[in-house]
Chains A and B, each alone.
Chain A
Amino acid sequence: NAGVMQNPRHLVRRRGQEARLRCSPMKGHSHVYWYRQLPEEGLKFMVYLQKENIIDESGMPKERFSAEFPKEGPSILRIQQVVRGDSAAYFCASSPPGWRTDTQYFGPGTRLTVL
């Protein structure tokens, strides 16, 4: 059973460009979470999605950031008009449905560098 997959693993963008980060959850998992880790800082929750629904986006910056988890395909975290402060590692986690088995399993992350 493959783990959580994220791509690309490394992404370089210039200021003002768009960044798209993809996350494929583990097989059988329908819940996806995105976290961000700024350099030398801890992991911070950004958003929680179920298929086609955003459940909690309390950690998302108010502008330029959006996330989706369509019925088919991976979850996408989209950052428009990137700035240098967006440089960070972005981790995706997934969990199966059901509150008793909701342990989150993380992917390897996407490291975004904004020049």
Chain B
Amino acid sequence: DAKTTQPPSMDCAEGRAANLPCNHSTISGNEYVYWYRQIHSQGPQYIIHGLKNNETNEMASLIITEDRKSSTLILPHATLRDTAVYYCIVRVAGAQKLVFGQGTRLTINP
């Protein structure tokens, strides 16, 4: 699985959009970009994933650059409950395991 690079920490004001970047410059054509988050020591929560196209669901939007070497997770209206560690993972579909890096510790401030 390709290596990802994320900033160790970020802050965002409540109600604003939180934009979390991820670099994956060595991503292969068949590798998807997945995002998970872990709120305080709870189990990781799946957020969204994509291959080439931008994706949106009820939780977030995923913007993938045209060359696929980086992506951004967008939480459109961050709340205090979005404070968590966010993990960007690249993975071949059908691959057996998720390889977690250090992630980005996002703090939402009131």
Q: Name A residues whose Cβ lies closer than 8 Å to a Cβ of B.
A: 4, 33, 35, 42-45, 48, 55-56, 59, 89, 91, 93, 99-100, 102-109, 111
Contacts and interface: CB of A to CB of B under 8 A. Distances in A.
A13 B6 CA distance: 37
Interface of B: 34, 36, 38, 41-46, 49, 93-94, 96-103
A43 B44 contact: yes
B97 A33 contact: yes
A48 B100 contact: no
A91 B36 CA distance: 14
Contact of A45 (B93, B97, B101): B97
Contacts of A91: 43-44
B99 to A, nearest CB: 7
Interface of B is mostly: loop
B96 A99 contact: no
A109 B96 contact: no
Interface of A is mostly: strand
Contacts, number: 53
Given A42-B101, A42-B103, A43-B100, A106 B94 contact: no
Contacts of B103: 42
B43 A106 contact: yes
Contact of A56 (B49, B93, B94, B96): B96
26 contacts: A4-B43, A33-B96, A42-B100, A42-B101, A43-B100, A44-B100, A45-B98, A45-B99, A55-B96, A56-B96, A59-B97, A91-B43, A93-B43, A99-B93, A99-B94, A102-B94, A103-B34, A104-B46, A104-B98, A106-B36, A106-B45, A106-B46, A108-B42, A108-B43, A109-B43, A111-B41
